[in-house]
Amino acid sequence: MVLVNEDLCARIWAPRYLSFITATISGALSVITVTGNLMVCVSVVKDPYKELRTPFNFYIINLALADLIVGLVTEPIAVWVHIREGFSLTMENVWIIHMSYFISCTASVLSLCALTMDRYNAITTPLKHRVSGLSLKRTLFTSGFIWIFSLSIPFIYFKLGFLTYSLVFANTAVSITFITLIFAYVRIFQTLTAQVKRWSRKDKKYGCRTRRNAILREERITKVFLLMLVLFVSCYSPSCAMIYVMNLCKSCSCYTLHWLRDLQFLFVLLSSSLNPFVYAWRIPPFRRAFMTLMKQKKDLSTRLVANISDATSSPKEIENFEVKNK
């Protein structure tokens, strides 16, 4: 990522202030990304109410893991790379940030597709979905395919280079995902509208409140993922547009290309940072589980401090207290 294009900007460094700005933003996004996505993973693993370990939530974990790669690997390396670039130091092993970037982007995009198609099946064919669509075996198979694909396809980058592979990625994975999401959400909206109207009429005649409540619940969940679609479009559309400009604009100055390079990179990082807050915090079971875990941790810390502060407590008692509350 040091040189935008070897033919256009060979041996021309980015403006120093741009490198430091990008490094600062990448560092801040790393903290947000790791915190948010780790929160999702811990909530499912701990699961105090035993309601999150469902096949559907494995898709959410898949997306959170993809975004965690961004926060733990891509963004910290980006900080290091751009700081060195700011001091005009020679870059080594830049392929590491490129590969982690493409792997995490691919896994994140495909996981979002899987989430969307699951909602599509749940709304349009609810009976079939309950019988076979949400089995753990099928979910694990889909998740495994996503990671195998994401870990293998980006190796084409070594043959094509960063810019060319970015253009290929924008024209394939991102475009196909965008079309899939639009189609799915149009069909979901149409189906939900028809179902709600149908059950509303039946409520008046037969009092079928249970079924209508189930439909309304699916509608609320689907709205969460509609918001995710908006986030996806808001972050990836500008990034793809900048990739096109970087590849096709032969008259652009290196100053402009460096700005586009960093901005398209940051837009994708922003998506990984905001994803967990868009879906996890808007789904009550996730929010309830995390708040409970935080309360338990706070209570445990309070009791531990109180016990340690007790002058009558012996070191052995404190040790027993810590072991008991692990």
| Domain shared by 149 and 238, yes or no | yes
**Whether the predicted pLDDT of 3 surpasses 50:** no
What is the C-alpha separation between 211 and 203, in angstroms, rounded?
9
| Domain shared by 30 and 172, yes or no | yes
Which residues have a Cβ under 8 Å from the Cβ of 321 and sit 6 or more positions away?
303, 304, 307
| Domain shared by 200 and 303, yes or no | no
| Domain shared by 304 and 195, yes or no | no
Query: In which domain, by residue range, is 300 found?
Result: 285-326
Does a structural domain hold residue 5? no
Encode pLDDT of 90-115 as tens digits: 767 788 888 999 998 899 888 888 88
Does a structural domain hold residue 6? no
Encode pLDDT of 35-65 as tens digits: 999 988 888 888 888 888 777 788 888 889 9
| Domain shared by 189 and 202, yes or no | yes
Encode pLDDT of 191-247 as tens digits: 877 776 776 666 555 556 666 666 676 677 667 767 877 888 899 999 999 999 988
Q: What percent of the chain has pLDDT over 70?
A: 77
Is pTM beyond 0.85? Reply is no
Does a structural domain hold residue 231? yes
For residue 149, give the CATH number of its domain: 1.20.1070.10
How many structural domains comprise the chain? 2
| Domain shared by 302 and 201, yes or no | no
**Whether the predicted pLDDT of 311 surpasses 50:** no
Q: How many Cα neighbours within 13 Å face the side chain of 56?
A: 24
More confident residue, 267 or 205: 267
pLDDT band, very low/low/confident/very high, at 75 (cuts 50, 70, 90) = very high
Q: Which of 248, 264, 282 is the last residue of a domain?
A: 282
| Domain shared by 290 and 273, yes or no | no
Task: Name the burial class of residue 224, with classes exposed (0-12), middle (13-18) and buried (19+) by CB atoms within 10 angstroms of its CB.
Answer: middle
54 phi-psi bin (left φ>0, alpha ψ -120 to 50, beta other): beta
| Domain shared by 107 and 125, yes or no | yes
Q: Are 70 and 307 in contact (CB under 8 A)?
A: no
pLDDT band, very low/low/confident/very high, at 270 (cuts 50, 70, 90) = very high
In degrees, rounded to 5, the angle at the alpha carbon of residue 76 between the alpha carbons of residues 73 and 78 is: 100
| pLDDT for 205 | 55
| Domain shared by 134 and 277, yes or no | yes
